[in-house]
Amino acid sequence: MAYTNFTVETDADGIALVTWDMPGKSMNVFTAEVMDELNAIIDATVADAAVKGVVFTSGKSSFSGGADLSMIKSMFSFYQDEKAKDPTAATQKLFNLVGRMTGLFRKLETCGKPWVSAINGTCMGGAFELSLACHGRVASSAKSVKIALPEVKVGIFPGAGGTQRVSRLTDAQSALQMMTTGQSLTAARAKAMNLLHQVVEPDQLIPAAKQMIKDGLKPIAPWDEKGFKVPNGGIWTPAAAQLWPAAPAILRRETSGNYPAALAILKCVYEGLQVPFDTGLKIEQRYFTQVLQTTEAYSMIRSLFISMQELGKGARRPAGQPKAALKKVGVVGAGFMGASIAYVTAAAGIPVTLIDRDIEAAIKGKGVGEGLVKDSIGKGRLTQDEGAALLSRITPSADYSDLKDVDLVIEAVFEDRDVKKAVIEAVEAVLPASAIFASNTSTLPISGLAENSKRPADFIGVHFFSPVEKMMLTEVILGKETGDRAIAVALDYVAAIKKTPIVVNDTRGFFVNRCVFRYIHEAYDMLIGGVPAAMIENAAKMAGMPVGPLALNDEVAIDLSYKILKATVADLGEKAVDPRHMQLVSGLVESEGRLGRKNSKGFYDYPPKPAKKSLWPGLKDLYPQKKADDVDVGVLKQRFLVTIALEAARTMEEGIVTDPREADVGSILGFGFAPYTGGALSYIDGMGAKVFVDLCEKLAAAYGPHFKPTALLKDMAAKGETFYGRFDPYRVEKAA
């Protein structure tokens, strides 16, 4: 029989090699059609007496990315539609749907013939769950092999037997660690955890898998054998008594109870290990059905998987623009940002000319890349040759004429209008007519900078975040006259360096920094109001923010905050900033010399390593302190999330951001906005505009007018609208 997604070839030894290779896709994923075909393959191989066993592998360089999350997203819509008709029947139908993959893998596991999974590359989620249901697992030793059950990162968990099989193969602690963090394992680590039988040279993969069958591999899973014992004796042992009482506390410390899927993993393992395997699968199926009904799962899958993928693939790229082949990029300004921008560009295989005022400064900038390459070689991420090739692509220079053949220039010189003006003119004097000029400014409006350009249609902002090599987001900023070709080239560049772009219109602070400063300013308000600094930082983390606002301000630098406040007063007048904020920041910078992490003195003190940073005790003396018992941590958490979400809503209302996917993804990737919410706008949509508006009004009455809900939000509340409904990102596709 012919399949669309698989080929099946049976050799002279009666071993069927099933190769998964989906047409037109760069990676194999589980879809309804794939599951139907796999089901048919199981039936066919069982029915064929000539088949002794099956080796299952992939025809692509990776094994598989797991379930197609669009399929899971469609389960949400299905459930919502059905729920409106009959909630109980809807939950039952969802439960049945959820069990489909579980049932398929269990059928494979109990089919009576041995299956071996031959893992040739990245093997994620459902694909690893399928492998766990096979009787043998062999992986290639190639560096590209990564094994993970990463579902928790998008708000769900391994719900196709993963929680039950992993915890019956390895000790519970390692199982929990793997699944609650979604960490990637090397093949060697997976083998050490007893999740693989063999790791072999890449060219030995299929022969080794076949050999397992020839050697008489039993078609019975360990847990289906009589007398099977859970590793380390299961739940009722002295060792388990050390683990289980602490596990929920550790999880709470790590997640503040914000991630229902992570808690469900704990429950599945704890409960599942006390019952027979098939009952364990049922328990897992029930929790999975429950988690799928949470706002967190829905919002996280939408933002962190679907939207992120769509934006990465150029959802905002103007139609009709040919793809830009970036043969060479210029970076002007080899300082803190420029040096790293040159590095990530070279790492993407694009030659870079790195320019500074003198050659020494340019060479120093390349040195940053050399340090990063050395680090990567040390960690085994790059070979010596790969590192050398990467560095050979960065050419330091002090001569602007070296930019004569670049396709794109990224300017990262001092944040000073006059310096930038001179650089724009000098660069444009040599730049080819077809090239695009991008500025990495963080505060200067792009339209204003473009006034210095002879070709404002080819002028754009490409705003990186520090540290450039780690931060996944770039903001692409449109000036008033920026043309479609400049947008296309900027987006093609961002895609080439494997970052996620959001496209925003020009405004002070663009999108990310506008929101970030709301977060920091709320912390200033709390400090001024006498909230102990430790409570401010902890409340923010409990709300789901990765870094407390005071620690973040130290990273950004307090003197930079001071400079920005002063610039805002200069441009917009005294009323544009809160005088108490100005007083706090000027006092820290001018009277106390506390500039932030950079001089080891900010809201925190930074003693030499290995000592850890600690909050500066002097903060207590700045304002009369409230007693901890008089502070409501729940309200602090709300203030942080609401003030940021409100700012994100304002950017939509002002037309700065036009697509809710960008505000959501930008808020998570740009400054870690509580990922379980799905982002700043999903936070509002998740609770509903009406509830959000009421909350804003309550906070405005207690903490100031900056919490007042905007006209847009009130209108949405009155009409029962959501951001994804009102600013539907798919409206054009739907209309077509």
Residues with catalytic function: 463
Q: Which residues contact 209 (CB under 8 A, 6 or more apart)?
A: 55, 57, 116, 117, 118, 136, 138
Least gap, CB of 410 to ligand NAD (angstroms): 9
Under 8 Å between Cβ of 365 and 338: yes
In the list 440, 500, 505, 677, the residue contacting ligand NAD (rule: CB under 6 A) is: 440
Give 260 or 338: the residue with its C-beta nearer to ligand NAD: 338
Least gap, CB of 358 to ligand NAD (angstroms): 8
Under 8 Å between Cβ of 37 and 4: yes
Give 357 or 485: the residue with its C-beta nearer to ligand NAD: 357
Name which of residues 314 to 353 contact ligand NAD (CB under 6 A). 332-338
- From 440-448, 532-540, 691-699, 717-725, span contacting ligand NAD (CB under 6 A): 440-448
**Ordered DSSP codes for 581-645:** HHHHHHIIIIIT---BGGGTBSSEE-PSTTSPPEE-GGGGGTSPPPPGGGS-HHHHHHHHHHHHH
In the list 5, 140, 303, 441, the residue contacting ligand NAD (rule: CB under 6 A) is: 441
For 622, other C-beta atoms within 10 Å of its C-beta total 17
Least gap, CB of 408 to ligand NAD (angstroms): 16
Give 438 or 619: the residue with its C-beta nearer to ligand NAD: 438
Q: Name residue 46's amino acid.
A: V
Whole-number Å distance between alpha carbons of 643 and 680: 10
Under 8 Å between Cβ of 410 and 343: no
Least gap, CB of 675 to ligand NAD (angstroms): 22
| Burial of residue 142, with CB atoms counted within 10 A of its CB: 0-12 exposed, 13-18 middle, 19 or more buried | middle
In the list 62, 285, 442, 643, the residue contacting ligand NAD (rule: CB under 6 A) is: 442
Using CA of residue 290, residue 295, residue 300, residue 306, what is the dihedral sign? positive
- From 264-272, 276-284, 321-329, 418-426, span contacting ligand NAD (CB under 6 A): 418-426
Least gap, CB of 482 to ligand NAD (angstroms): 18
Q: Does 355 bind ligand NAD (CB under 6 A)?
A: yes
Least gap, CB of 442 to ligand NAD (angstroms): 4
Helix (H) or strand (E) holding 501: strand 500-505
Beta strands (DSSP E) in 319-403 are: 329-332, 352-355, 394-397
Count CA atoms closer than 13 A to 410's CA, side-chain side: 31
Name which of residues 447 to 506 contact ligand NAD (CB under 6 A). 463-464, 466
Spatial CA neighbour of 725 closest among 155, 49, 80: 80
Least gap, CB of 552 to ligand NAD (angstroms): 12
Give the CA distances from residue 291 to residues 131, 277, 299, 389, in Å, rounded to whole numbers and listed in that order. Answer: 24, 21, 12, 46
Give 30 or 464: the residue with its C-beta nearer to ligand NAD: 464
Site string for ligand NAD, 504-543 (x = CB under 6 A): ----------------------------------------
Least gap, CB of 574 to ligand NAD (angstroms): 24
| Burial of residue 593, with CB atoms counted within 10 A of its CB: 0-12 exposed, 13-18 middle, 19 or more buried | exposed
Task: Give the orientation angle of helix 711-719 with respect to helix 689-703, to 10 degrees.
Answer: 140
Least gap, CB of 397 to ligand NAD (angstroms): 10
What the block records as the tokens of 393 is: 């692509």
Q: Does 68 bind ligand NAD (CB under 6 A)?
A: no
Least gap, CB of 348 to ligand NAD (angstroms): 19
What the block records as the tokens of 505 is: 């219109």
What the block records as the tokens of 155 is: 């708000």
Give 136 or 333: the residue with its C-beta nearer to ligand NAD: 333
Give the CA distances from residue 462 to residues 25, 329, 412, 455, 486, in Å, rounded to whole numbers and listed in that order. Answer: 30, 13, 10, 17, 11
Give 281 or 334: the residue with its C-beta nearer to ligand NAD: 334
Give 5 or 440: the residue with its C-beta nearer to ligand NAD: 440
Beta strands (DSSP E) in 194-309 are: 198-200
- From 16-24, 232-240, 417-425, 500-508, span contacting ligand NAD (CB under 6 A): 417-425
Whole-number Å distance between alpha carbons of 172 and 169: 9
Name which of residues 266 to 325 contact ligand NAD (CB under 6 A). none
Give 13 or 555: the residue with its C-beta nearer to ligand NAD: 555
Whole-number Å distance between alpha carbons of 84 and 81: 6
The number of residues that bind ligand NAD (CB under 6 A) is 24
Q: Does 417 bind ligand NAD (CB under 6 A)?
A: no
Q: Does 715 bind ligand NAD (CB under 6 A)?
A: no
Name which of residues 21 to 60 contact ligand NAD (CB under 6 A). none
Least gap, CB of 154 to ligand NAD (angstroms): 28
Q: Where are the alpha helices (DSSP H) in 161-225?
A: 162-169, 172-181, 187-192, 205-214
In the list 361, 477, 550, 565, the residue contacting ligand NAD (rule: CB under 6 A) is: 361
Give 349 or 371: the residue with its C-beta nearer to ligand NAD: 371
Q: Does 419 bind ligand NAD (CB under 6 A)?
A: yes
Give 71 or 419: the residue with its C-beta nearer to ligand NAD: 419
- Give the residue closest to ligand NAD by C-beta: 335
Give 359 or 496: the residue with its C-beta nearer to ligand NAD: 359
Name which of residues 387 to 416 contact ligand NAD (CB under 6 A). 412-415
- Strand bridging mode 184-186 / 66-67: unpaired
In the list 75, 132, 199, 423, the residue contacting ligand NAD (rule: CB under 6 A) is: 423
In the list 83, 357, 485, 580, the residue contacting ligand NAD (rule: CB under 6 A) is: 357
> Which SS3 state, helix, strand or coil, does residue 661 take?
helix
Residues of this chain that interact with ligand NAD (CB under 6 A) are 332-338, 355-357, 361, 412-415, 419, 422-423, 440-442, 463-464, 466
